[in-house]
Structure formats: structure tokens, C-alpha cells
Amino acid sequence: MKFTTLLTSAAMALGLASGAMAEDKTKVGFVYVGPVGDGGWTYEHDKGRQAVEKEFGDKVETVFVESVPEGPDAERVMTQMALEGADLIFTTSFGYMDPTINVAKKFPDVKFEHATGYKTADNVSVYSARFYEGRAVQGHIAGKMTKSNIIGYIGSYPIPEVIRGINSAYIHAKKVNPDVEFKIVWAYTWFDPAKEADAATVLIEQGADVILQHTDSTAPQAAAQEAGNVITFGQASDMSEYAPLPRVSSIIDNWAPYYIARTKAVMDGTWTSSNTWDGIGAGMVEIGEISDAVPADVKEEALALKAALADGSYHAFTGPLKKQDGSDWLAEGETADDGTLAGMNFYVEGLEGEIPQ
């Protein structure tokens, strides 16, 4: 994929060069981990970028580079963007955390926004969405819908974000179905349709009739459709082209309001470093239409759970909960604090297997 990066950064350099004359415009850059046409994670970020353009019209100019590998290449792309006069740069993948901090040090006047990370600086904000709230709703539906009691989960990388999602889905599936078992496969990629399809197929062959995914493409949906009698959920984007079956609901990331607000802050000169972590309540996480394949009573329960998460009357990690090794974590009625959630590196009791270190 390195060569794609070469191509895209070359294209970006061209694009930036031609736009260099409009000095009064606020220039906003986006660094994407996948292609904008992935139908998932990057697709939604790009929708946010388009919303910024629509909101401010001639007053902004946006640039983006897609399929940037997490590593030294990312640093090069960000540096290039900053050199070409970007005022604000959104870096939209966990693996861009250290590159973002490094580049931000070199460009104190440029504002950076890193998605899903935890390192901040005077000119670096972090933002993320509480996807685990959405996963609680999915877990509930999954637990109710499974007939084989085996739920397959395609993980990308073993980072807190993904582990949090697995835990949240498992807790809520287990709550409605004590016999449920999770099979977890790590793909070690955010985006590789062939591998994601293979992973889904393997899980289905081993008895899973519900597939949850934390990778970005719609390939698992296609694999589930092929197999029949398997349900899936849209990840990051609605993926409604697979509704009503196999996709029965989805978690949608809605970045547009945040991107618009932060761009406005740069224009007004009111931008300050911040740490944003919003969920269903603030509208950063949306639950896609629950399809008719889900029985009405399950749908009602899921919507009630969603409402409770939204108004704050229920927290997705509420005790009593134990860790996988049997040690106590949360007492009866206690809820997890954000610090623990942000750095989550353990499974809750009942999940099998080890987290790759």
C-alpha cells in the first residue's frame, strides 16, 4: 500500500499547489487510513469533510489523503500538509497518534485533531466517539437473535478501542442470553476485504450465526449474505445496502457536527486543545435503523437501551463486573471511569482467549 501513498501524496501536492493562491481561506486537511470508498470508517470521515465544505463554502478549502499507512508515511503526509499551509489537520486513525504529536511539535501554529487517541498537546486535540454504547445495543440484539449461541467477532488490532467494543458487546449479549459464547478473530488490518471475508467465512464455518466486526469494509456482510441465516451489523457506516438481511442494524459515526464546530473555532480564533468523547447522547454515535428481521419486542428493548444510554440513566459498563481472571472490577451499581475505559486492556469475565500483546 506504500505505493498508493506515493500516488496520493503526489496528487495532494498538485492539488495544494493549485490552491495556494487563495490565502484567506481556512485550509483543513484530513489524513485517512483507508480509501474514501470503503463504505465504512473513512467513508464517514469523508462525509464529515464534505459537510465542512458545504457549511462554509468559499471560506474553507479542504484537502485529504487516503489510504495512508500508520507509521512513518503518516508523518510525511502530515508534514507535507502543514508545509502546504493547512490551518487545521484531522488525523483519523489510532495509529496516527505518535506521528501527529511529532509533527505538531514542528508546527506550533497549525492545529491538529487526532481521532481515537489519548495524547494531547497545546495544538493537539483528541476526539473520539463512544462506540461501545452502540456496541451495547448490538450485543443485546445479537444475544437475542443467535440460535447457535456462538457469536463471531472480527477484531482489527488489539487496542483499547477494539477491546472495549468486544467487552461491551459481550456483556450485553450475555445479559440476555447466558449461554452465549464469543469467537474472536484478529485480522490485523483495518481494511482488507478479502481477509475480512475469509475471517467471516471461518467464523460461520465454526458455527457463528451472528458476526460483529471492527474492521472497515462491507466484505463480512457479503460473506454472511452468501452463507444465509447469519446476521451482521453495519460498522462505522450504515451499510444499509445489506438490509434487511444480513445487516439488521448498525453503528454510525457522525463526525460532521464536530468537524464543523472545530473548523469554526479555528476561523474565530477560539480553538483550544480539548478532549472530546461523545456518544449516543450527543449524536456522535447513531444506531442505524433496526430492520424488520429483528422481532418487534427485541427491537423495542434495543431502542429502550439506546434511550437509556443516550440520556445517561444507564452506563454500558455498570457493575457487578469481573475481569477475565476472576478479579473484581466494578462493584454492584458502580460504573467504569473514562480513564479505565480509555486504556482498557483486559477482557471481562466469561470471554475466552487471550488479548494479543
Partner 1 sequence: MDLGEINPVLLVASLMVAATPLLLAAIGELVVEKAGVLNLGVEGMMIVGAISGFAISVETGSPWLGFVAAAIGGAVLSLLFVLLTQFALANQVASGLALTLFGLGFSALMGQSYVGIKPPSMGDIHIPLISDIPVVGPILFQHDPILYVGIAITAAVWAVLKFTRLGLILRAVGENHDAAHALGYKVIKIRILAIMFGGACAGLGGAYISLIRVPQWTEGMTAGVGWIALALVVFASWKPWRVLLGAYLFGGITVLQLNLQAAGVAIPVEYLAMSPYIITILVLVILSADKSSAPASLGRTFHASH
Shortest distance, CB of residue 88 to partner 1, whole angstroms? 26
Site for partner 1 in 27-86 (CB under 8 A): 34-39, 67
Query: Among residue numbers 224 through 283, which ones bind partner 1 (CB under 8 A)?
Result: 225-226, 241
Count of residues that interact with partner 1, criterion CB under 8 A: 48
Please pick, from the candidates 106, 188, 229, 338, the single residue that binds partner 1 as defined by CB under 8 A: 188
User: Can you tell me which residue has the cell 444506531?
Assistant: 287
Residue 356 as a binder of partner 1 (CB under 8 A): the answer is yes
Terminal Cα-to-Cα distance of the chain (whole angstroms): 25
Q: What is the rounded distance in angstroms from the CA atom of residue 253 to the CA atom of residue 196? A: 20
Q: In one letter, which amino acid is 109?
A: D
Candidates 44-52, 57-65, 277-285, 348-356 — which segment interacts with partner 1 by CB under 8 A? 348-356
Q: Does 197 bind partner 1 (CB under 8 A)?
A: yes
- 194 counts as binding partner 1 under rule CB under 8 A: yes
Find the shortest distance in angstroms from Cβ 309 to partner 1.
29
Strands in 134-225 per DSSP E: 150-155, 181-186, 210-213
Give me the torsion for CA of 198, 200, 203, 204, rounded to 10°.
-110
**By C-alpha distance, which of 79, 22, 21, 91 is closest to 56?**
22
Interface segment toward partner 1; rule CB under 8 A; list 4-12, 22-30, 310-318, 340-348: 4-12
- For partner 1, the closer CB: 195 or 323: 195
Residue 10: is it exposed, middle or buried by C-beta count within 10 angstroms (0-12/13-18/19+)?
A: exposed
Q: How far is the CB of 46 from partner 1 (least distance, A)?
A: 12
Give residue 206's identity as a one-letter amino acid code.
Q
Query: Measured on CA atoms in the order 230, 46, 136, 302, is the torsion positive or negative?
Result: negative
* Nearest partner of 118 among 83, 88, 161, judged by Cα: 161
Positions that interact with partner 1 (CB under 8 A):
1, 3-4, 6-7, 11, 34-39, 67, 152, 158, 183-186, 188-189, 191-195, 197-199, 201-203, 205-207, 217-219, 222-223, 225-226, 241, 352-354, 356-357
